[in-house]
């Protein structure tokens, strides 16, 4: 069993959450959520930052800027039972840290293998500024595409060979979408995800 840590969401007073890597060999994913200490926080270095991707020639990925805001902050609303060809499975226990509620939801392809999996971290921050600050305070990740200001802030991380990530904000909500079966599944999930 190999565990790999990913730095994912920062909080108002704590800049991130520690998430254990999903175990692929068993075909099941397990997540452990643990807040980072202040000494582990920081920001993405300028050398690692990609150029701002929100331009007229390179629109916001998946056109998330045109999607509706969630109607409420209930997990059933934020994580629909069906997203395109993906079916919702396990919903991890929610946690609250520094005023931000977060929870992980597992999706698998309908009729697919258990390794064809999407895990989405859903963060409900006190306000939009907190959500944007959390996203902007990431470190130790490679960014291929980003926009770190305004309502629809985002970054795309090509992953570590085991997952692809897309993290974005919509108002006070943060969504960290991880595909453990490649970029194609990430694209398919994001094409159908409502927010």
Provide the pLDDT for residue 162: 78
Residue 57 has pLDDT above 90, yes or no: no
Query: Taking Cα atoms as reference points, which of 177, 170, 178 lies closest to residue 69?
Result: 170
Residue 53 has pLDDT above 60, yes or no: no
Cα 181 from Cα 186, distance rounded (Å):
8
Share of the chain above pLDDT 70, in %: 68
pLDDT in tens, 30-45: 322 223 222 222 333 3
Query: Taking Cα atoms as reference points, which of 184, 112, 138 lies closest to residue 44?
Result: 138
| Of 140-144, 181-185, 188-192, the least confident | 140-144
Tokens of residue 146, six digits: 């980003």
Q: What is the mean pLDDT of the chain?
A: 73
pLDDT in tens, 131-155: 999 988 876 677 778 887 777 899 8
Residue 98 has pLDDT above 80, yes or no: yes
Choice between 114 and 193, residue whose per-residue pLDDT is larger: 193
Provide the pLDDT for residue 31: 28
Average pLDDT over residues 115-125: 92
Cβ neighbours of residue 180 closer than 8 Å, sequence gap 6 or more:
22, 24, 29, 115, 116, 117, 118, 119, 162, 163
Cα 191 from Cα 188, distance rounded (Å):
5
Cα 10 from Cα 184, distance rounded (Å):
27
∠ Cα 190 192 193 (to 5°): 65
Residue 22 has pLDDT above 50, yes or no: no
| Of 33-42, 54-63, 88-97, 144-153, the least confident | 33-42
């Amino acid at each position: 069993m190999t565990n790999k840590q990913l730095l994912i969401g920062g909080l108002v007073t704590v800049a991130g959450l520690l998430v254990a890597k999903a175990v692929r060999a068993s075909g099941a994913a397990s997540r452990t959520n643990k807040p980072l200490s202040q000494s582990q926080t920081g920001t993405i270095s300028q050398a690692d930052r990609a150029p701002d991707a929100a331009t007229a020639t390179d629109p916001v990925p998946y056109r998330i800027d045109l999607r509706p805001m969630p109607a409420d902050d209930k997990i059933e609303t934020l994580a629909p039972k069906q997203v395109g060809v993906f079916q919702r499975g396990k919903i991890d226990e929610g946690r609250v840290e520094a005023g931000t509620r977060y929870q992980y939801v597992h999706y698998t392809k309908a009729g697919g293998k258990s390794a064809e999996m999407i895990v989405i971290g859903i963060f409900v921050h006190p306000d939009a500024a907190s959500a944007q600050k959390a996203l902007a305070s990431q470190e130790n990740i490679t960014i291929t595409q980003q926009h770190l200001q305004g309502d629809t802030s985002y970054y795309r991380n090509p992953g570590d060979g085991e997952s692809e990530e897309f993290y974005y904000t919509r108002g006070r909500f943060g969504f960290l979408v991880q595909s453990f079966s490649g970029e194609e599944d990430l694209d398919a999930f994001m094409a159908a995800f409502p927010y």
